């Protein structure tokens, strides 16, 4: 099943108490979009007590401003289907992750063929507590993954922390995720445009040059081949030069393979990879952009050239 227009989805994460629920509530209350909200647990989400019982039985509840809410405690797929299959589906879906949840399995589910026809992963947003970030990361290191994979990090509670502590928290985030856009704020007061409409997994995504200066040794390498790539050689390259290499933050490629009529679009955020048919304009060649730390540009160029060398055909 494919809708005429896929519904964008934003994953919202953050350590317990960082302010992610406040952010979700602000988006709902803004009235700028008709949101669908999937929550792991209710917490302080703005849900009337009268409808909680109905939702726990698997229903979809109406919130203010025409927004909808569904519980995805056990089965995310059921919750999502409950939202997208309504006569009037939401314009945007927010999935609020629990405090220590790994965002990768959820993102991978949204990027599968089954869901790509219905939903469009717009980005991963993580809320961080500027006052207690270092201590929280030391006590619960498993929660770092939400920051590491985030497209945007909302550095919250700036009104409660001294400027030096906010600066230290910002540096911690930059070291962990140099590609993230960091928004410093208080009480999760951010503009909708700061966290919605990111297009972080779209074919139009492009790295912002100023971000490459955030982390020491972070750079990008652009690789190009005019001849079609051999799939067997690409699998080896992908495994050796990307999956098994530490410090790869982002990668994007439009790749043309031997024996295939349509080019393929590769999107990668650290260890999260997705391939799909590319339907946009294409010049017939292959281009791959790799962004990471301490990249050996000469090695990448040499290895990529082998994929389309005349000797390999």
Q: Which residue has the tokens 């809410």?
A: 69
Q: Do both 43 and 138 map to the same domain?
A: yes
Residues 243 and 172 reside in one and the same domain: no
- Largest CA-CA distance found in the chain, in angstroms, rounded: 70
Q: How far apart are CA 33 and CA 29, in angstroms?
A: 9
What's the sign of the alpha-carbon dihedral 143, 124, 81, 23?
positive
Q: How far, in Å, are 106, 131, 157, 177, 197 from residue 186 at the CA level?
A: 28, 11, 4, 21, 22
- 8 A C-beta contact, residue 35 and residue 91: yes
- Of the candidates 195, 228, 252, which is a domain's last residue? 195
Q: Which of 83-87, 129-133, 154-158, 215-219 has the lowest mean pLDDT?
A: 215-219
219 and 175 inside one domain: no
Same domain, 59 and 190: yes
Q: Is residue 285 part of a domain?
A: yes
Q: Residue 122 belongs to what domain range?
A: 7-195
Strand 264-269 vs strand 272-277: parallel, antiparallel, or unpaired? antiparallel
Helix 76-84, helix 103-110: angle, nearest 10: 40
Residue 61 in this model has a pLDDT that exceeds 60: no
Residue 271 · residue 250 · CB < 8 Å: no
* pLDDT surpassing 80 at residue 146: yes
**Residues 197-243: pLDDT tens digits?**
999 888 777 665 445 544 567 888 999 999 899 998 999 999 889 88
Residue 2 lies in a domain: no
| 132 and 167 inside one domain | yes
Does one domain contain both 111 and 234?
A: no
Quote the number of domains for the chain.
2
23 with 127, same domain?
Answer: yes
**Which of 195, 225, 240 corresponds to the end of one domain?**
195
Q: State the Cα–Cα distance between residues 212 and 125, nearest whole angstrom.
A: 20
């Amino acid at each position: 099943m494919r809708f005429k227009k896929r519904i964008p989805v934003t994953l919202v994460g953050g350590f317990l108490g960082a302010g992610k629920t406040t952010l979700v509530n602000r988006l709902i209350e803004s009235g700028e979009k008709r949101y669908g909200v999937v929550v792991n647990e209710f917490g302080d989400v703005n849900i009337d007590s009268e409808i909680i019982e109905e939702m726990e039985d698997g229903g979809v509840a109406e919130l203010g401003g025409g927004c909808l809410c569904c519980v995805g405690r056990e089965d995310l797929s059921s919750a999502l289907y409950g939202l997208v299959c309504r006569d009037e589906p939401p314009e945007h879906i927010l999935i609020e992750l629990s405090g220590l949840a790994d965002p990768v399995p959820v993102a991978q589910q949204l990027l599968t063929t089954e869901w790509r026809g219905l939903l469009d992963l717009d980005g991963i947003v993580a809320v961080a507590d500027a006052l207690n970030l270092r201590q929280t990361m030391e006590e619960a290191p498993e929660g770092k993954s939400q920051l590491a994979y985030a497209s945007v990090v909302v550095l919250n509670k700036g009104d409660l922390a001294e400027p030096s502590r906010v600066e230290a928290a910002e540096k911690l985030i930059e070291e962990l995720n140099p590609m993230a856009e960091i928004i410093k704020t208080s009480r999760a007061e951010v503009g909708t445009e700061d966290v919605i409409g990111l297009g972080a997994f779209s074919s139009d995504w492009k790295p912002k040059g100023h971000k490459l200066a955030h982390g020491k040794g972070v750079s990008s390498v652009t690789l190009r081949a005019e001849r079609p790539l051999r799939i067997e050689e690409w699998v080896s390259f992908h495994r050796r030069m990307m999956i098994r290499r530490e410090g790869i933050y982002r990668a994007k490629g439009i790749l043309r393979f031997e024996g295939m009529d349509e080019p393929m679009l590769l999107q990668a955020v650290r260890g999260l990879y997705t391939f799909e048919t590319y339907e946009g304009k294409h010049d017939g060649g292959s281009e791959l952009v790799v962004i990471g730390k301490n990249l050996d540009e000469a090695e990448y160029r040499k290895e990529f050239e082998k994929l389309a060398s005349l000797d390999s055909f």
